[in-house]
A = this chain, B = another copy of it.
Amino acid sequence: MKLNIGIIGLGLMGGSFAKAVKKYSIATEVYGYARNEKTKKEIEELNLVDQLVDIKTMKEKCDLIVLAIPVDNIISMLPEFLDIKDKTTIMDLGSTKEFIIKSVPPKIRKNFIAAHPMTGTEKSGPKAAIDNLYEGKTVVLCNLEENENQHVNRAFKVFQEIGMRIVAMDADEHDIHACYMSHLPHAISYSLANTVMGHEDPKSIIALAAGGFKDMSRIAKSSPDMWTDIFKQNRKNLLASIDLFENHMKKVREMIETEDYSSLKEWMKKANTLHEIL
């Protein structure tokens, strides 16, 4: 299978996707689209795509068009693809799925593969692109029953060839799972980072940072533009998961306050059971 692949947005996700399809020789040509002139220059310098083109050219040339942009931008760009060919596959890589799928125009719903590769780093922009971001990771594909077979098969083949494990799931279920595994952890990490940065002397505190804090604060470096949109689109699930998390924070605070150390130890042991799964 050799495809002409178009990638809209060549940051961490899109740029790494371009590198992956090149590495595994999946593409005949890789076309890229970016709006910003500075970004275009970076993409060219990094040689991420064969050619930067406009949307019209991309729609003419490509078998597969990938939207690797923030989730709100995915939605606002959808009308641009109303006139794609029947055989053209369009796919998004956004972190939320329910709202995006609801926004896909019915005319191109059968072409539109809703994908969420469960991978990333805290970095963003074309320079963050790496050729092994997707290898060995999981991609969730949502509501595939609404797609035409040729597009599903194409998506499967591409993700398999770049080394991903495919999981099919309903969009509403995906949004809950992604909330626990990614969106809630981001809200917590941003809060922890702001707690420490709010101290009168964060530098001297952070001088003692070891594995624990480094791991817990890494994703607090993630892009605010991207993550504001994700929080917005998964607002309902995020609020519910914050409430559940907050119950546990209240509980640990209370056990420490009242010096109920035997309950504290039991509660920690329950958290340890995660070890059996992960």
Binding site for B on A (CB under 8 A): 118-121, 137-138, 140, 167, 176-178, 180-182, 184-199, 202-222, 224-225, 227-228, 231-232, 235, 238-239, 241-249, 251-253, 256-257, 259, 261, 264-275, 277-278
* In the complex, chain B residues whose CB is within 8 Å of the CB of A222: 268, 272
Give the secondary structure class of A's interface.
helix
Indicate if the CB atoms of A210 and B268 lie closer than 8 Å: no
Q: Which residues of B contact A264 (CB under 8 A)?
A: 228, 231
A251 to B190 alpha-carbon distance, docked (Å): 11
A121 touches B191 (CB 8 A): no
Cβ contact within 8 Å between B208 and A138: yes
Q: Pick the contact of A246: B190, B249, B265, B267 (CB < 8 A).
A: B249
Q: Are B215 and A120 interface neighbours, CB within 8 A?
A: no
Residue from B210, B235, B252, B274 within 8 A of A181 (CB atoms): B210
Give the number of times this chain occurs in the complex, counting copies. Answer: 2
Contact of A206 among B181, B204, B211, B248 (CB under 8 A): B181
Within 8 Å CB of A193, what residues of B? 271-272, 274
30 A–B pairs (Cβ distance < 8 Å), ordered by A: A138-B208, A138-B210, A177-B204, A177-B205, A180-B199, A180-B213, A181-B196, A181-B209, A182-B212, A184-B195, A185-B212, A189-B271, A190-B268, A193-B274, A194-B270, A195-B247, A195-B248, A197-B270, A197-B273, A209-B278, A215-B215, A217-B278, A220-B271, A221-B272, A224-B269, A228-B264, A228-B265, A231-B264, A239-B256, A246-B246
Contacts of A182 in B (CB 8 A): 210, 212-213
Please give the distance in Å from A94's CB to the nearest CB on chain B.
15
Q: Are B231 and A256 touching (Cβ within 8 A)?
A: yes
8 other A-B residue contacts (CB within 8 Å) besides A194-B270, A220-B271, A242-B253? A119-B211, A120-B210, A181-B209, A184-B192, A185-B212, A197-B271, A228-B261, A228-B265
Which one of B225, B252, B275 contacts A191 once the chains associate, using CB atoms below 8 Å?
A: B252
* Complex Cα gap A227–B252 (Å): 12
* Contact yes or no, A252 B210, CB < 8 A: no
Query: A192, B185: Cβ atoms under 8 Å?
Result: yes
Q: What separation, in Å, do the CA atoms of A26 and B192 have in the docked complex?
A: 39
A137 to chain B, nearest CB (A): 7
- Distance in angstroms from A195 CB to nearest chain B CB is 5
Q: Please tell me if the beta carbons of B275 and A221 are within 8 angstroms of each other in the complex.
A: yes
Q: Roughly how many angstroms separate A235 CA and B244 CA in the complex, as a whole number?
A: 23
